Chain A
Amino acid sequence: SQQGEEDPQALSIQEGENATMNCSYKTSINNLQWYRQNSGRGLVHLILIRSNEREKHSGRLRVTLDTSKKSSSLLITASRAADTASYFCAPFYSSASKIIFGSGTRLSIRP
């Protein structure tokens, strides 16, 4: 399968805590992207990490990539209510030209 698989399926944390989501994939990738989707809306691109990178930061987001384990993680620090959303990882394979989305991680931030 070309899709990434996110874990956990659902995550509920207190506002201000950190949230960590994981993604596993099957074969060698070109790059891996993370997307966010607020309820009933389109997806928003968060961050792209290339296969030769190990870590990338963007604001409160930190993404890591371990190509030997074929896994990635997304860390959101100091969570806010607005972070409540579904998060999807999108591994891109050199031979592929489309994203096969998994079911995502549904993140809920409790006030």
Chain B
Amino acid sequence: DTGVSQNPRHKITKRGQNVTFRCDPISEHNRLYWYRQTLGQGPEFLTYFQNEAQLEKSRLLSDRFSAERPKGSFSTLEIQRTEQGDSAMYLCASSVQGAGGPDTQYFGPGTRLTVL
């Protein structure tokens, strides 16, 4: 079990550029979540997938944000035309959705985005 991994760990970009982050969940986990966290706040839910289906998107996720999980394994989160307000830590988590309901989420180390 290698845990949840995220790449890159840090990304610095200029306003207006596009960025893409990758998340590799724990291999047998069917659920994958994306969160955004700013300093001093708890993580904010952005979206989640069950296998390859994107089941829910937060209203926080503007049209500039898109997430995919094409084969039900890794996921990518793309931000187009980045703005300074997008600067945050982007966290990915995975879990197993069983008959008993939502289970423990395992978080990756996060990708810290800085938009200049």
> Known interface pairs A30-B101, A41-B109, A42-B110. Does A98 touch B56 (Cβ–Cβ under 8 Å)?
yes
A33 sits at the interface (CB 8 A):
yes
B101 lies within 8 A of A99 (CB): no
Instruction: Pick the residue among B31, B56, B91, B102 that contacts A92 (CB under 8 A).
Output: B102
Q: Which of B39-47, B65-73, B77-85 contacts A (4 or more CB under 8 A)?
A: B39-47
Any B CB within 8 A of the CB of A58: no
Cβ-defined contact, B48 with A97, below 8 A: yes
User: What interface size band does chain B fall in?
Assistant: 20 to 34
Chain A contact-residue range equals 20 to 34
B97 interfacial by beta-carbon distance below 8 Å: yes
Give the residues from 17 to 61 in chain A that come closer than 8 angstroms, CB to CB, to chain B. 30-31, 33, 35, 40-45, 48
Q: Complex: how many Å from CA A40 to CA B35? A: 14
A12 contacts partner chain B, Cβ-Cβ < 8 Å: no
Tell me the bound Cα distance from A27 to B45 in angstroms: 19
Answer yes or no: A81 CB below 8 A from chain B CBs. Answer: no
Closest B residue to A90 by beta carbon equals B105
Interface SS of chain A: helix, strand, loop or mixed? loop
Complex: A43 Cα to B56 Cα, angstroms:
21
The 8 A CB mask of B100-116 against A (1 = contact, 0 = none) is: 11111111111010000
The contact sample of 20 A-B pairs, CB cut-off 8 A, is: A3-B42, A31-B101, A33-B104, A33-B105, A35-B107, A42-B107, A43-B93, A44-B107, A48-B104, A86-B42, A97-B55, A97-B97, A98-B33, A98-B45, A99-B33, A99-B45, A101-B35, A101-B43, A101-B44, A103-B40
Q: A97-B55, A99-B45 are in contact. List 16 more A-B contacts (CB 8 A).
A: A3-B42, A30-B102, A40-B112, A41-B109, A42-B109, A43-B93, A43-B105, A44-B107, A86-B42, A88-B42, A92-B101, A100-B45, A101-B35, A101-B42, A103-B40, A104-B42
